[in-house]
A and B are shown apart, each in its own frame.
Chain A
């Protein structure tokens, strides 16, 4: 399983951008980077995914470094409702999702 490394926790002020890093130095060329979040033991919620290029959707932006060994999830204007555990996952072609321990993001007023 391709492994990821994330900080266990991060704080962010409400209204500011939250930048969540992820290291995935063993990623292969055809493996995707996926991000999910889990709010208070609900089912994980899909956020965004990418292969090589940076991606943006209504929830977040994903920045992948040129060597693809790390990525950053950006929540542009964090709100209290964004407080959750964020998981960075490497995935390819029906291989199982490996979640890891994730980053607990605390958004503070």
Chain B
């Protein structure tokens, strides 16, 4: 049973560019959450997708957007990249049922913005 997978593992972009990160949830999971982790800090919640809609959102600007597909996989898009967007981006999946929200994390995508 494959766990949460993310692609790519590493990415280098320049300021102003756009980036798309991808996540496949653990088998049977229908909810995907995205987190940003800057160096030396804990992960910060970006948003959560359930039934192809954004259900919760953290304190991130509209430059951060997402999508969930019918097969429950998800994308995170970041427009107009800033140097401060350099971070490890984590995807987590879970069941969309109350009481079964334990989130399982992928290995992350490390983004470097130059």
Contacts and interface: CB of A to CB of B under 8 A. Distances in A.
Interface in B55-108: 55-56, 58, 88, 90, 92, 96, 98, 101-108
Contacts of B101: 91, 93-94
A97 B103 contact: yes
Nearest to A42: B107
A93 B56 CA distance: 11
User: What's the interface size class on B, roughly?
Assistant: 20 to 34
Contacts of A93: 98, 101
B4 A43 contact: yes
B23 to A, nearest CB: 11
Interface residues of A, number: 22
Given A34-B102, A94-B48, A96-B48, A43 B41 contact: no
Contact of B55 (A45, A85, A94, A97): A94
B43 A101 contact: no
Interface of A: 34, 36, 41-46, 49, 85, 87, 91, 93-102
A27 B26 CA distance: 29
Contact of A87 (B42, B88, B98, B104): B42
Nearest to B31: A94
A44 B56 contact: no
Among A44, A45, A98, find the residue whose CB has the most chain B CB atoms closer than 10 A. A44
A41 B98 contact: no
Across the A-B interface, give the 7 residue pairs with the lowest CB-CB distance, nearest first.
Answer: A43-B105, A99-B42, A96-B45, A44-B105, A99-B43, A43-B107, A43-B106
A102 B42 contact: yes
